[in-house]
A and B are shown apart, each in its own frame.
Chain A
Amino acid sequence: DAKTTQPNSMESNEEEPVHLPCNHSTISGTDYIHWYRQLPSQGPEYVIHGLTSNVNNRMASLAIAEDRKSSTLILHRATLRDAAVYYCILMDGGGAQKLVFGQGTRLTINP
């Protein structure tokens, strides 16, 4: 399974944008980029996913580099409820289609 690299932790301020980076230099052509987050004392929840083009949804935006070797999850206006561990994961669309989680980035939001 292709691996991802994320910073262990990041900190931001409430109501400011947050850019969470992820490197996936060994990504293959059929790998989808998924982001999940885990709020304290909860199971992970889906945030967004993409293949090649940038994606937007109500929670966040996903910016994918042209060579697909990195991506950035963008929270446009962070709130205290966005404090969580964010996981960047590759899923092989042509293979077993299972998600393998890394250690993620712990995001702290300051009031």
Chain B
Amino acid sequence: DADVTQTPRNRITKTGKRIMLECSQTKGHDRMYWYRQDPGLGLRLIYYSFDVKDINKGEISDGYSVSRQAQAKFSLSLESAIPNQTALYFCATSDWGITGELFFGEGSRLTVL
């Protein structure tokens, strides 16, 4: 089983719908992240959390919200999806410390029609 699991892996939805992407990890890490990747571009940070009570905005948080339900779970929500939120979304985790090595999930591909 993967250390970082994302569900769903693929989702097609319509404009205005609420969407939740879920991430769970078995690495025991405190830190979790949500990134977005658009075709041909690098990853952009949406939100990150350093522990269950900590939530921080990243570069592009507008239109997104997150919930850290437990150390192992970090969910990303699109309250009212729009077409330009069509992208590949990655969840990642890291242990405490300056090395900051990130472990990524396999990605969730979201298409908003």
* Chain A interface residues toward B at CB < 8 A: 32, 34, 36, 42-46, 49, 85, 87, 91, 93, 96-104
Could you tell me if A42 and B106 are in contact, using CB atoms closer than 8 angstroms? yes
- Interfacial chain A residues near B74, Cβ < 8 Å: none
Contact flags B87-104 to A (C-beta < 8 A → 1, else 0): 000101000001111111
Contact of B35 among A42, A91, A101 (CB under 8 A): A101
Could you tell me if A102 and B100 are in contact, using CB atoms closer than 8 angstroms? no
Could you tell me if A93 and B98 are in contact, using CB atoms closer than 8 angstroms? yes
- Interfacial chain A residues near B100, Cβ < 8 Å: 32, 34, 49, 91, 97-99
Q: List 29 A-B contacts (CB under 8 A).
A: A32-B99, A42-B106, A42-B107, A43-B104, A43-B107, A44-B43, A44-B104, A45-B104, A46-B101, A46-B102, A46-B103, A49-B99, A49-B100, A85-B42, A87-B42, A91-B100, A93-B98, A98-B48, A98-B56, A98-B58, A98-B100, A99-B102, A100-B44, A101-B35, A101-B42, A101-B44, A101-B45, A103-B40, A103-B42
A-B contact count, CB below 8 Å?
Answer: 57
Interface size class of B (residues with CB under 8 A): 20 to 34
- Interfacial chain A residues near B41, Cβ < 8 Å: 103
- Minimum Cβ distance to chain A for residue B22 (Å): 16
- Interfacial chain B residues near A42, Cβ < 8 Å: 104, 106-107
- Interfacial chain B residues near A99, Cβ < 8 Å: 45, 100, 102
Contact flags B70-113 to A (C-beta < 8 A → 1, else 0): 00000000000000000000101000001111111111000000
**Given A44-B43, A101-B42, A101-B44, CB of A96 within 8 Å of CB of B56:** yes
Within the assembled complex, what's the spacing in Å between the Cα atoms of A23 and B40?
A: 20
- Minimum Cβ distance to chain B for residue A41 (Å): 8
- Interfacial chain B residues near A87, Cβ < 8 Å: 42-43
Could you tell me if B98 and A44 are in contact, using CB atoms closer than 8 angstroms? no
- Minimum Cβ distance to chain B for residue A6 (Å): 10
